[in-house]
Structure formats: C-alpha cells, structure tokens
Structure 1
C-alpha cells in the first residue's frame, strides 16, 4: 500500500475553520517543510488541490521539486480550462524535469458556479463527456502519438509533443455519478473515492470493477491519530468546540446546492447534525460539517488507525491520500505512529527501503515552523 499526504496551498490552521489565532499563512518555506517531512517519513506523494480558493497546483508543486528528492506530486487540474495539447506538454515537461515525479489528479468539476468563474459554462454531464475526450487526446500525446481528434467538445489537428516523457504520469480520477464510471474505466489508472464507511466503499469499488476489473483504487481521508484513543477523540472535541452553529449552517446551506453526487454522499453521513458523527468504527464525519470535499477522518490510537487502514486495504484500496490539521504536525503523528505499526505488521515498507530501522526524519519536538 502507498500513502500520500496533502499540501495546504491556501494556508494551514490548527482548526477545521481557520481562526485569526490559528492561521498559518502560506509560504513556499512552509510547504517545503511539509513536503520534505512527508518524503522522509515515508509518504510516496503529496496531493495539491485545485480551485479558485487555493494557489495554482502546477506552479506550487514545480517549486517544491527543488527541495525534495523522491516525493511525487499529485497535481489536481480541471480538463477544459486549458487545451489538452498544452496540458500534455506541461505534464511532459514536469515529468522529465522532476525525474518522473508527476501524478495527475483529474477533477471534472462538480459545481457549475465555480466552473463559470473560469469561463466554463457546460453542465455536469457535458463536463464528464468533455473530460473523456480531453483524456483521449492527453493520453495519446503522452504515449507519443500524433493526435487528430474531433469530438463534441475537443478538436485538435495533428497535435504532437516534441518530447514525450519516459514514464507516462499515472492518472487519478474520482466521481460518484453514473457519468463518471465510464470515463474512469476508459482513462484512469487509479479511481479515487472519499472516505465513506467500508460497506459503502466496497459497493463503489464493485461498481468500478464491473467497468474495469484491473483498476487500482485510492481513498481520500483526514486523520487524527494519537498515542491513545482518548487523546485522539479529545482532539475531535477541541475541533468541534471551535466550530460555531453559524459556521455549520452556512457551509451546509452551500453544500446542499452542490451538484456533486460524492458531496451529497458526504453530507448524508452526518446530515448537518453534530450528534452521530461516528459513522463507522474510528470514522468521524465532523470535518464535513464545515468543509466541502473529503469530510471524514480516521480517529484513534495508532494501532486502531492501522486496523482501519488494513480494513480498507482488504477491500482493494491500494493508495491512501491523507491530511490533518495542521498538516505538518499531523504528518509526523501518522508517520511516526501509524506507519511503523503497519511496518511491524509486515504490510508496509518505507519507499526508500527499510531493511533496518526506519530512515530518520526531521525531529518533530521543538522544530521551528516557518510562518
């Protein structure tokens, strides 16, 4: 199994909803600390989000290739906002100059109002259709083909890359609507799901397997792991105390208008209610009260979190894309608590090799933080 961390390119905080006291402003120095620490702790890659609310993923990660050696960057981007030929050229350049450290997270876009900010006025089903056409061209170009293609949304003539990457970047793709499945099966290497209870994840994976039996799977979760379960659950209480009813009401009103089926499934786990947030053993839906997208967290002792990871892995999850608040500190708690436990059980190895003790990480205690 592989683990990825998350780069908070809109700034970081000790709370789900950032407060003036808890905000850690975005700097390339701070992102570099997270990236270097994730690399040394044993994470294979780091996801960088996309949207109007955060910094550009391509530019941010390109800067971080210079301060890391092995870490891959899972760059989220939206088809249709740039041409497929330019996207393939960017991917090829990134892949060559980084030493094959690019992964592509294709985000079709679930919210029409946000898409319109970028000049995209297609409806949701049309966006999925366009994504399929876009990836047909991108994949062909990255494989060295000359592409002439005319679809309903994408049209290129004799497009080609002057230089193709030695290794084609893997394509990660998520989507819970009926339109998403065929696109994933035709073009994706890894299908992504948000952190639902295991039974629901199993149903989704079974659906995708009917379309592509050899698909790899990834899951996107937050994590709150501590030496004891009591400490971990106490942290959920602290996070909730800093969330006001007005915060929940405002966010849930916005998410109720979402076109995303995956977002609707996240909302159904908690219904906007602070009670009943433990939706499965060690799976807490409190993050989704005030955050769109991935809304659940694995919560517990290091051993309990390792148990849940193995449970998802038994369903067929190959890759875990994790995050926590604040992202630097929580990466250490997971990397120094859960990963050694999984290694002790013989189900995980440090990607740099670990025939002996785990490679040393930057010391956590007393480490100065770039602000």
Structure 2
C-alpha cells in the first residue's frame, strides 16, 4: 500500500519537557527540562532545517512528580515569538482547559507565530495528574466522548465562526473570538491515540493522526484502517505522523551498540516505570502496544526500528513515507548531538531516495 501524497517527508523533534527521552540517568545527558535548554534546542532545530516541534503537555512530571516539568502552553507562546519558520505543536488535555479559553489561547499563539501553530489533542493516560487536581479521571471511552465535544467547540471557534453548542459537557451560546485567523482557516489539529474511539475521532475531526512508534507493517495496517473511514464533506484527506526514537551511526553495529547502552541505562529507571504503571489507564492502547517490544524512548521509541547506519535509517524512513507517513516526530539521546547528526547525514540520504 502506497499512500504517499507529499514528495518529501517533514521532520520534527520532541521538546524535552520532562528531560531525556530514553534514560533519565545518562551521564552523557544530565537531566534538564528547563526553559533555557528547550529554547536553545528548538532554535537550533529550526536552524538545522527541522519542520516542527511537539511540546507535550503535563502539569506534573509523569515519571516522577519530584522532577522538573516544562509547561507546554506558556513555552509554546514564547517559542512562537522567538522562532520564524518551525511549526509549533502544543499538546492539550481537554479536561485541563475549557474549550472557549483554550481556543482563545490557541488563536493568540497562531497570531504570534504568524500562522505556524497547531494543537495536538490527547485524551490523557496519567491518572494522578487529573485526580490530584480534583478534576477526576473518567473511564477511557468517556474521556474520548468529552474530547469529541471539546474539539467540536474549539474547531468552530478557531474558524472564527459564531458558535453555539449544547452537549452533555458544554453549553456555548453565540460565542465568537476576534480577531479571527488572518493566515488560514484555522490552526492545524493533530490527534493522538490508537483505540477505536481515537481512530474515529481523528477521522471525523483531525487533520493529522499521530501514530506511536511501531514496525512498518503495523503502521501500514493502522493507516489502512483510518484511511478507509469516511471524512466530513469538504475536509481534505487525513495526513499521518509517526513518533520515533532515532539512533543513526556510521555503521549498523555502532548504532545497535548505542541502543544496547541506552537500554542498559534505562533499566536504572525501572522503579520509576513500575510506579508509573499503577497510574496508567489499562485501556490505553499506547501502553498495550509498548508492552509488546523491547525499546527505548517514549511513544513507541525505537519500536519503529530507526536504528542503524545512516543508509539503513534513511531507507526505513523512505519506506514509512511511501506507506503514508508525512511527518516524523523524532527523539534522540544525547538529543542535541544526535539531532545534528540526523540533519547532516540522514536527511540528505532520505531526499536522495525519494527524489
């Protein structure tokens, strides 16, 4: 199956909102989730040619509440003002913001960025983040029902429409936000999640579906399922993004050696992961999928198999792109050094393969 609609893929990076992505106790990458580091990282990513940055949203660190955590929306607003080209994607958990308030915030960041802002709708898996705030943690499908109402209101408001809505969770009466978006119809909407409610939600409401890192055959099946679903009349075809942890070296052997090194370091975090497991919704498909593979990194990490020589990684990216993946949202460790290596050695090879 070949769904490639864009001649070349886009590449993005995950902001380090809660520190290192593979192992928290890496001597080569001391824990640092500060604004200063994230600002420098995103500015360098833009200079290197990366197309997007994803700023995940957590109010407390999902690994260990004693560790630092960058706030997504204030950071995204600041990045919008500091950057010139890169797309800024801020994740949002609907229970944390009323849709009218969030839509106004998103609209403002869209203006600050000059039309480079996007939201990533996620429906939460970390129970304490909501429960300890007194918000409550609804059952899996109920969270998606809430999120569907929420994004319906946000979508309408971002389009500059006069919005009225009467649902189970929200009642909005003749609301409109000004000034409207001068750059496009509205900011792009990314949707994450792989459960049945998530797949239907992205088919109905999303522009881009974020898929967690998995082998090519599994990604092809996921894309085939969602691509076959009806879209609302007038909506363009859905696009696809993939999260992946990249280890690219001069040879396959060197890459797999570094993977083994990170895997060993990640074992030091096992007590944190075991405590975290108790906070995870067992119906979250993401974590069911993760349990099936030995990997490093978050959101599937190295399960996408982007580990190998520069040529090996470039070929695998080309294969994913031909299967329909347009945006690769990447993780590295050590992040800054490997981000540079990827831009220098892998991206040109991908362009050659797909030209």
Whether the aligned pair in 2 keeps the contact of 1:112 and 1:124 (CA below 8 Å) is no
How far apart, CA to CA, are the structure 2 residues paired with 1:128 and 1:255? 21
How far apart, CA to CA, are the structure 1 residues paired with 2:44 and 2:27? 26
How far apart, CA to CA, are the structure 1 residues paired with 2:281 and 2:140? 11
Cα gap change, 1:159/1:180 in structure 2, threshold over 3 Å: closer, same or farther?
A: same
Deviation digits for residues 284-318 of structure 1 (CA, Å, limit 9, x no counterpart): x244xxx5x33325111111101111111121111
Cα gap change, 1:266/1:156 in structure 2, threshold over 3 Å: closer, same or farther?
A: same
Cα gap change, 1:21/1:311 in structure 2, threshold over 3 Å: closer, same or farther?
A: closer
1:206 is aligned to 2:213: no
1:225 is aligned to 2:243: no
How far apart, CA to CA, are the structure 1 residues paired with 2:197 and 2:353? 39
> What SS class does the counterpart of residue 53 from structure 2 fall into?
strand
Deviation (angstroms), 1:247: 3.5
1:102 match: 117
User: Which residues of structure 2 form unaligned runs of 5+?
Assistant: 1-8, 62-68, 232-236
1:341 match: 349
Deviation (angstroms), 1:68: 2.0
Pairs within 5 Å for 1:1-371: 1-12=9-20, 16-19=23-26, 22-51=29-58, 52-53=60-61, 54-118=69-133, 119-166=135-182, 167=184, 168-212=186-230, 214-244=237-267, 247-248=269-270, 251-252=273-274, 254-255=276-277, 258-259=281-282, 260-270=284-294, 285-287=295-297, 293-296=299-302, 298-347=306-355
How far apart, CA to CA, are the structure 1 residues paired with 2:131 and 2:228? 34
Deviation (angstroms), 1:21: 7.2
User: Which residues of structure 1 form unaligned runs of 5+?
Assistant: 271-284, 348-371
Whether the aligned pair in 2 keeps the contact of 1:33 and 1:328 (CA below 8 Å) is no
Cα gap change, 1:35/1:199 in structure 2, threshold over 3 Å: closer, same or farther?
A: same
How far apart, CA to CA, are the structure 2 residues paired with 1:317 and 1:255? 30
1:360 match: none
How far apart, CA to CA, are the structure 2 residues paired with 1:141 and 1:236? 45
How far apart, CA to CA, are the structure 2 residues paired with 1:36 and 1:12? 18
TM-score by length of 2: 0.86
Deviation digits for residues 9-38 of structure 1 (CA, Å, limit 9, x no counterpart): 22348x613357741433333222211221
How far apart, CA to CA, are the structure 2 residues paired with 1:104 and 1:132? 14
> What SS class does the counterpart of residue 50 from structure 2 fall into?
coil
Deviation digits for residues 176-224 of structure 1 (CA, Å, limit 9, x no counterpart): 1111122111110001111111111111111111224621111011111
Deviation (angstroms), 1:141: 0.8
Moved more, 253-262 or 144-153: 253-262
> What SS class does the counterpart of residue 266 from structure 2 fall into?
coil
2:65 match: none
How far apart, CA to CA, are the structure 1 residues paired with 2:244 and 2:78? 25
How far apart, CA to CA, are the structure 2 residues paired with 1:144 and 1:243? 46
Whether the aligned pair in 2 keeps the contact of 1:224 and 1:235 (CA below 8 Å) is yes
Whether the aligned pair in 1 keeps the contact of 2:243 and 2:301 (CA below 8 Å) is no
Cα gap change, 1:240/1:39 in structure 2, threshold over 3 Å: closer, same or farther?
A: same
Whether the aligned pair in 2 keeps the contact of 1:45 and 1:71 (CA below 8 Å) is yes
- Root-mean-square deviation (CA), in Å? 2.1
How far apart, CA to CA, are the structure 2 residues paired with 1:223 and 1:123? 34
Moved more, 116-125 or 177-186: 116-125
Deviation digits for residues 82-132 of structure 1 (CA, Å, limit 9, x no counterpart): 111111111111001111111111111124343323413322111101111
Q: Alignment length, in residue pairs?
A: 327
